[in-house]
Amino acid sequence: MKLPTYFISHGGGPWPFMKQEYGNAYAKLEASLQDIPRQLGVTPQALLVISAHWEEPEFTLMSSSAPGMIYDYGGFPDYTYRISYPAPGSPELAQQVQQLLQDAGIAAGMDAQRGFDHGMYSAIYPVYPKADVPIVQLSLKVGLDPTEHIALGRALAPLREQGVVIIGSGLSFHNLRQFGPAGYAASAQFDAWLHSSLIQADTAARTAQIANWSAAPAAHAAHPREEHLLPLMVALGAAEDDAASCVYHEKTFMGGLTVSSFRFG
């Protein structure tokens, strides 16, 4: 069974742990994440998560069997710096991924000290709230070259037939200076381009269009720096010949943004 890959718009900070403060503000995103186990139909052997919040000079894998927590956000209530998502790591999967990448001519390092960042746990807590599925995080590579991250995804593709779900965790619009109504037009334009490129284009054209994302309408207004878009490249590369579908979409995110998440396969 070949499992799908995902690009998830992961929301802001530790939102799943802040129901009292946020109320229903994240209800649509949360529902889309909670639906992933139903879409999969099986409990995966593990998740491989590529988070927008981790960059290294070369692709790097978290190799601890019991990763800690990184609270990589600011200005949130004190208790959010004590939350825990105690999913197990998988040194075995980390080694397997490293070998896949090396076989593809892609250098890959290991980090036994790195903890989970909120690009992982804010996205995955709604999916597996019991933290009972092993998780390995994989970094982005400094330079944020789209073609390198698509190639990374291609090298990871065999994992899909081995019970591993590959998840790119970012945000389809990420311009902190235009969160809210100021980003309404740019987010809508860029999101429409994403839908057209990912869902309507044929697979060969799709890869080329996404690699050339900076030519898209409102591209740099949507992503002044592209780290929150690069996880999409990995999810796409790992399912390059598979159809894409939108699994989350709303037009009022954070006060006026259009954002989406996608599944491949």
Per domain, the residue ranges of the chain are 5-264
| pLDDT score at 176 | 75
- Other CB atoms within 10 A of residue 195 CB: 17
DSSP run (H or E) holding 56 = strand 46-56
- Cβ atoms 156, 63 nearer than 8 A: no
Q: Which two tokens stand for residue 246?
A: 């939108």
Task: Write the CATH number of the domain with boundaries 5-264.
Answer: 3.40.830.10
Contacts of residue 240, Cβ cutoff 8 Å, sequence gap at least 6: 150, 153, 154, 157, 203, 207
Predicted pLDDT at 179: 85
The answer to whether residues 137 and 51 touch, using CB atoms and an 8 Å cutoff, is yes
pLDDT range class, residue 152, cuts 50, 70, 90: very high
What is the mean pLDDT of the segment spanning 88-102?
A: 98
pLDDT at residue 210 above 90? yes
- Please report which confidence band the pLDDT of residue 178 belongs to, taking 50, 70 and 90 as the band edges: confident
Return mean pLDDT, the chain.
Answer: 96
Residue keyed to tokens 């892609």: 106
3-class DSSP assignment, residue 108: strand
Q: Is the predicted pLDDT of residue 189 greater than 90, yes or no? A: yes
Q: Is the pLDDT of residue 14 over 80?
A: yes
Tell me phi and psi for residue 5, to 5 degrees: -115, 160
Confidence class for position 183, pLDDT limits 50, 70, 90: confident
% pLDDT > 90, the chain: 92
Confidence class of residue 119 from pLDDT cuts 50, 70 and 90?
A: very high
Residue count of the chain, please give it. 265
The yes-or-no verdict on residue 204 having pLDDT over 90 is no
Whole-angstrom distance, CA of residue 30 vs CA of residue 127 = 8
pLDDT band for position 134 (cuts 50, 70, 90): very high
Q: Tell me, what's the pLDDT at 201?
A: 80
Q: What is the mean pLDDT of residues 110-134?
A: 98
